[in-house]
Amino acid sequence: MIGDNDIALWRGEDGQIRAWENRCPHRGMRLSYGIVRGNTLTCLYHGWSYNGSGGCAGIPAHPDLAPPKTIRARVYRAADSGGVIWVANPDETSEAPSIDGDWAPNRSVHVDVAPANMKALAEGIGAELVSKITDHAAIVRVPKVAGDVLLAFLDMKEHGAMIHTSVPADASEAIAISISKLSTHLRQIFKASSAAKQAS
Amino acid sequence: MTPDTFTRSQWYAIGRTGDFEGAKAKPVRLLSQDLTVNNTSGVLSVNDAEGHSLQTQVRYGHLWTTLSDNPRPLYDMPEFDEPDRRLVTAGGVGVRCSGLRCVENFLDMAHFPFVHTDILGVEDHSSVENYDVSMDAENDEIWATKCKFFQPLASAAATGGQMTEYKYRVPHPYSTILYKTCPIRQNVWDLVGLFIQPVEEDECIVHSFILVFDDENTDTGLLHFQQNIFLQDRMILENQVPRKLPLDPRWELPTRADASSIAYRRWLKANELQWGIALFDKVA
């Protein structure tokens, strides 16, 4: 979800991550129910297929018809970096995050209430900010845990937030487990009731 | 939103007659209103929330009512009077979308190979040939005729693949009937139809029936065939965004195979139907 917009994520054979509005331009069917074949995504409803850049590539009801160029899925910006998938609105002009080194995705948790900002999230996990990636992501350091942690959140407004962590690919299992435990702990901190207490 | 005049002036099926056995103030919801049904010694009556009694009629195996004092007459289906036909009703199935989306899905042949794979269509025969769409001006109905589609298992009575010929009829914004080649008798049509009860703008109950010549299958067999098909459709219907029907062409793009859907949307627009329609506001 970005704002109120539902997103379908998919990867073709080429490995590239794609984020599209989760509806087929034909009759509004959620594309997340679709089928990936090669580098095309096929809608489950009528089998309309879309190439990797969102253009309609085939309409099975009319196999001889070249699909009009106006039939396009709405394509969001998407990138892979730091073990996390990054998505932005189509009109976002800033560079996609590019994080040095190899990272392994560690744990994603849902919390009831979105953190107010990155500082609040880092404090929640008992970490200090090392470097900012975006307004919703940073590299942080947790005392007693060697090495950096990538911490990011997706604010889903009344639906709460998703919090993602990655650790360096060469981090030990012990580190991975302790970060995972801290992530679980975030559910308690960003609970509807605790947030109300913080506010009062 | 209060229902527009066209929506309000229709008759709606709210259940099979048998569903109201011994009904005492049985709650029913129609067009965002709470109604109650009473069965007084076999006579069915419907009241609105203020206790006013509404017009009713029993037809096509179902109880119909209307919020209007001067409703548009319920359409005729003379096939219901033909001897030897079997009527099987499936009961109401709730679907979380506008009933208008259900009508449109019912009119659509292009989804058969993908949603009803190996029953009503196969992916190797996905092509939809041109068909005729016309308005019956006298009755203000839409007809799609000369519809042909290759079907591996067109009905419970079918024994193999066949080119099935269809006619579709939309006599009512929330009703649609399919007339299909009877697999066992020459020159007659089997009927399959939907009587949709719009509950909210984006929620409905679909009452379906089949009226066929079939000496082989049990009622249960016929029912299972229909239910299987309808549950496949429901999975689609509950995953279309938005749940209401968009009429604005900037929102959903049709192709030639959608000629009946285009006519349906145009007809709804011409009749100034607004209840159950998604407004084009925020989508870029």
Q: What is the pLDDT of residues A125-135, one digit of tens each?
A: 889 999 999 99
What pLDDT, on the 0 to 100 scale, is given for residue A1?
A: 67
Contacts of B18 (CB under 8 A, 6+ apart): none
Residue A24: pLDDT over 90: yes
B252 to A28: CB separation less than 8 angstroms, yes or no: yes
pLDDT tens digits for range A130-169: 999 999 999 999 987 878 999 999 998 888 999 999 999 9
The residues of chain B scoring below 50 in pLDDT are 283-284
Per-residue pLDDT band for A200 (boundaries 50, 70, 90) equals: very low
Taking contacts as CB-CB distances below 8 angstroms, the residues of chain B near A47 are: 113-114, 123, 126
Mutate to test the interface with A, among B106, B111, B233 (most CBs of A within 10 A): B111
Contact state of A45 with B241 under an 8 Å Cβ cutoff: no
Parallel/antiparallel/unpaired status of strands A128-134 and A137-141 = antiparallel
Residue A198 has pLDDT above 70, yes or no: no
Model pLDDT, residue B284: 39
Report how far residue A191's alpha carbon sits from residue A168's, in angstroms, rounded to the nearest whole number: 28
In total, the C-beta contacts within 8 angstroms joining chain A to chain B are 72
Query: What's the rounded Cα separation, in Å, for the pair B27 and B29?
Result: 7
pLDDT, residue B156, reads 76
Residues of B in contact with A27 (CB under 8 A): 104, 240, 252
Q: Look-up: residue for tokens 């029936």?
A: B209
Confidence band (pLDDT; 50, 70, 90) for A58?
A: very high
The rounded mean pLDDT for chain A is: 92
Flag whether pLDDT at A195 surpasses 70: no
Cβ atoms of B34 and B43 within 8 Å: the answer is: no
pLDDT at B283: 46
Sheet containing strand B43-47, strands side by side: B26-30, B33-40, B43-47, B53-54
- Which residue in the set A45, A59, A70 is minimally distant from B111, CB to CB? A45
β-sheet bridge partners, residue A152: A137, A164
| Contacts with B114 from chain A: Cβ below 8 Å | 44-47, 60
Cβ atoms of B173 and B100 closer than 8 Å: yes
What is the Cα–Cα distance from B255 to A70, expressed in whole angstroms?
Answer: 12
Beta bridge partners, A154, equal A162
Q: Is B228 on the interface with A (CB under 8 A)?
A: no
With tokens 């066949």, the residue in question is B162
Alpha carbon distances (Å) from B251 to A45, A123, B21, B41, B245: 17, 44, 44, 51, 10
pTM: 0.91
pLDDT at A196 over 80: no
Quick check: A30 and B113 CB within 8 A? no
Give contacts of A28 with chain B, Cβ < 8 Å.
Answer: 240-242, 246, 251-252
Q: Decide if A42 contacts A34 (C-beta within 8 A).
A: yes
Say if residue A86's pLDDT is above 60: yes
In terms of Cβ atoms closer than 10 Å to its own Cβ (0-12, 13-18, 19+), residue B33 is middle
